[in-house]
Amino acid sequence: MANLVGIAKLDMVVNITEDANHYHLQIIFIMFTTIFRRFHLLIAVFLLAMPVASFADSSQRLIQMLDYIGVDYSPTVENGEVIDDVEYAEMQEFSGLLDGLIQGMPEGADKKPLLETARQIRDGIEQRVAGAQISELTQQLKIDLINIYNISVGPSKAPDDSGVQTLYESECSSCHGVLGYGDGPMASTQSIPPSDFHDMERQYTRSIYDLYNTISLGVDGTPMKAFGHLSDEQRWALAISVSRFSGTQEQREAGKSLWQQGNLRDFFQTLPNLTGMSYAKAEELGEDAGIDGKAVLAYLRSEPSILDVSDHAALDNSIAMLAVALKHADAGDHRAAYKAAVTAYLEGFELAEPSLVVIDKSLKSKVEKEMIAFRELAKVGDVEQLKSVHVGLIDLLNESKNIIDSNRMSPAAAFAGSFIILLREGVEAILVLAAILAALVKTGRREAVKYIHAGWVSAVVLGVATWWAAENLISISGASREVTEGVAALFAALILIYVGFWLHNASTSQRWKKFVEHKIDNAMESSTLWVLATVSFIAVYREMFETVLFYQAMWVQIDSADSQQGFLLGILGALVLLLILALLVMRVGARLPIKQFFQINAILLFLLAVVFTGQGIAAFQEAGMIASNMIEFPKVEILGIYPTMQTLGLQFFVLLLGAVLLSYQRRKS
């Protein structure tokens, strides 16, 4: 998810009135209106910036050309002398096209470093430099393009490879041979020999993504045609299968051992990390870590599903990252140990949490508590105590794996899981929406209801878009997820504090009566509606954001039609219950006298601000950005109550602030 940064300086023109409260109210309204409009602008930019087919195609072709140059230049030159005139001329031609292809990429990025690397490739070929130098430059340019333009270089989940061998034999073996040595029946009839997939010299700089591009687009001027008639999943399955020929069984076994010890986990957190990695880059990473990086890559290419989002893989990742944290702590690098411990939670246990909480909530709470303790000990550097906590934590994680494995996602478990998640995440949002809608109806402002509906509907639509993006375009890291939730929760808390004070003020203010009855201040009216729309949007989207990511983690565990039906019925049941809750709040509000109604609503919004404050701080703690000093206190997640000094301390401050503001307003009235 993109961070909300760089909001421009506000230019405000305020008409000063005789009432100082009205003056400050206008400033706050205008500020929130500006933020909300900028926020929607960023959403629009996000949606417009999503990759389209033409961009994907052009970026694929550019990266394919770089791959072709990087692999095929080396055999054309030896010791500065051209040994294959035809191939060398082709390399000159292709390198001369790079500038134009880069210029054709979307604007908005700094293309100067890309063009400079392209120039070095072109000049290097003209000067007949060594093949290794051109290979290194093409690899660097590919990496820069992928990073700058956020090009997706992998599928969202590992493709089904159950029929890939049959597919390979029918589509590829006639040229490349059954075992991939380039010795198929048609090979001898071709002027350009098919690739030998076992040839490490040619496969050294090639990633799975490069192979996928070649399968998808073909290679002009060669017998290698485009396999556009195959589905995207089939092409990825073929690319992954073909990539395995270059590794040996010994490498894979060594890589498995290294992976289980937690090596290179930071560099292989998602499938695109794997499919975008070459042996050249893996070897470089391995050298930095003092291990055989090529072996790790060979193992992961043989087992790509290990990087899928699954409970078992998530808990395995936690165990491995805790081992990494302990290793760093032993070496005295407490900062790295803390970072690894945070990753063990965010990219491991938290992904399995939705399944575990349905089966054994108490075990989930124990693991969570011990992981926080481990993280804090890693930060302070108490290695002996850290080792002691580590032993117990590994036992708890293994127990979690066994419980989840023995309790597959049955229809009842799928129903309960989806029901509890949506109900838990939706209660606060429903209360906020119901309070605002009831206030508008109570004051006869039914025409303003459409703004509230526009806010929450936009949030739902963006939530669905987030799910789709997380499935197809991007991988939302644990840290990004928690920071987004934390920012949204604290921002919502600030707005609710303001709106609560405003509603309480409205219960006695003569200006409110004049405002409602005569609608004399159109600018104020517009700003008010934008603020309320902002509240409904933020309150719903922050819950949608977390809910869709939990559902994404649950969905991959569901392996039967009955369980899928249970999952969907759980969502429907929670929605019905939330709707009933909203109607009850609105009906009770309609029967109250207006003064008591606004006072109760104000208190409700202040209490929700306290809940959001706790949840926001907890999210930042889970992201490792705020310390977590545990104390003996009951944990009630739905109320945002977490047993840490930081969450409870700030919640107490918000409660105190609300009490002071309400007391001040009461005395003033």
Residue 528 sits in the same domain as residue 641: yes
pLDDT over threshold 70, residue 517 = no
Angle formed by the axes of helices 449-472 and 20-48, nearest 10°: 30
pLDDT over threshold 60, residue 174 = yes
Could you tell me if residue 646 is inside a domain?
yes
Residue 615 sits in the same domain as residue 537: yes
Domain end point (choices 407, 441, 458): 407
- Cβ count within 10 A of residue 497: 21
Mean pLDDT on 45-58: 45
Q: Give me the pLDDT at residue 298, please.
A: 95
Convert 531-573 into a string of H (helix), E (strand) and C (coil): HHHHHHHHHHHHHHHHHHHHHHHHHCCCCCHHHHHHHHHHHHH
pLDDT over threshold 70, residue 476 = no
pLDDT tens, position by position, 178-202: 999 999 999 888 888 899 999 998 8
Could you tell me if residue 303 is inside a domain?
no
Q: Give me the pLDDT at residue 507, please.
A: 53
**CA gap 309, 296 in Å, rounded:** 19
9 or 308, higher pLDDT: 308
> In terms of Cα–Cα distance, which of 393, 365, 366 is closest to 377?
393
Could you tell me if residue 261 is inside a domain?
no
538 or 500, higher pLDDT: 538
Residue 458 sits in the same domain as residue 350: no
Which range has the worst mean pLDDT, 92-96, 299-303, 308-312, 660-664? 308-312
Mean pLDDT on 2-15: 28
Domain end point (choices 188, 221, 243): 243
pLDDT over threshold 70, residue 1 = no
**CA gap 347, 149 in Å, rounded:** 24
**3-class DSSP assignment, residue 28:** helix
Mean pLDDT on 612-623: 78
pLDDT tens, position by position, 385-405: 899 999 999 899 988 888 876
**Phi, psi values for residue 630, rounded to 5°:** -70, 145
380 or 141, higher pLDDT: 141
77 membership: H or E segment, kind and range: strand 77-78
Residue 376 sits in the same domain as residue 494: no
pLDDT tens, position by position, 580-610: 888 887 777 667 665 666 667 677 777 777 8
523 or 238, higher pLDDT: 238
**CA gap 436, 500 in Å, rounded:** 10
Q: Give me the pLDDT at residue 518, please.
A: 42
Domain end point (choices 123, 148, 173): 148
Write down the residue that tokens 């052009």 correspond to: 58
Could you tell me if residue 259 is inside a domain?
no
**CA gap 482, 476 in Å, rounded:** 10
DSSP at 473 = T
Residue 99 sits in the same domain as residue 144: yes
pLDDT over threshold 90, residue 282 = yes
Residue 415 sits in the same domain as residue 401: no
DSSP code per residue over 506-521: HTT-HHHHHHHHH---
DSSP at 348 = I
Residue 660 sits in the same domain as residue 516: yes
Could you tell me if residue 585 is inside a domain?
yes
Q: Give me the pLDDT at residue 121, please.
A: 95
Q: Which of 25-29, 127-131, 417-421 has the highest mean pLDDT?
A: 127-131
Q: Which of 105-114, 132-141, 347-356 has the highest mean pLDDT?
A: 132-141
pLDDT over threshold 90, residue 301 = yes
Mean pLDDT on 324-351: 85
Mean pLDDT on 129-156: 87
Q: Give me the pLDDT at residue 409, please.
A: 63
**CA gap 571, 417 in Å, rounded:** 9
Mean pLDDT on 634-640: 75
Percent of the chain with pLDDT over 90: 21
Residue 313 sits in the same domain as residue 224: no
pLDDT over threshold 80, residue 640 = no
Residue 338 sits in the same domain as residue 359: yes
Could you tell me if residue 273 is inside a domain?
no
**CA gap 509, 120 in Å, rounded:** 72
Which range has the worst mean pLDDT, 32-46, 117-131, 157-171? 32-46
Write down the residue that tokens 């000094």 correspond to: 645
Q: What is the CATH number of the domain that holds 374?
A: 1.20.120
Residue 172, domain extent: 164-243
Q: Which of 121-130, 212-221, 258-267 has the highest mean pLDDT?
A: 121-130
Structural domains counted in the chain? 4
Residue 494 sits in the same domain as residue 603: yes
Could you tell me if residue 32 is inside a domain?
yes
Residue 229 sits in the same domain as residue 335: no
Residue 478 sits in the same domain as residue 351: no
Across the chain, what does the average pLDDT equal?
A: 77
Indicate the pLDDT class of residue 36, thresholds 50, 70 and 90. very low
| Centroid of chain to Cα 370 | 25
Q: Give me the pLDDT at residue 431, please.
A: 75
**3-class DSSP assignment, residue 232:** helix
Q: Which of 214-218, 425-429, 434-438 has the highest mean pLDDT?
A: 214-218
483 or 89, higher pLDDT: 89
Percent of the chain with pLDDT over 70: 76
81 membership: H or E segment, kind and range: strand 81-82
Could you tell me if residue 266 is inside a domain?
no
**CA gap 586, 437 in Å, rounded:** 7
pLDDT tens, position by position, 238-251: 999 999 999 999 99
Q: Give me the pLDDT at residue 437, please.
A: 78
Q: What is the CATH number of the domain that holds 227?
A: 1.10.760.10
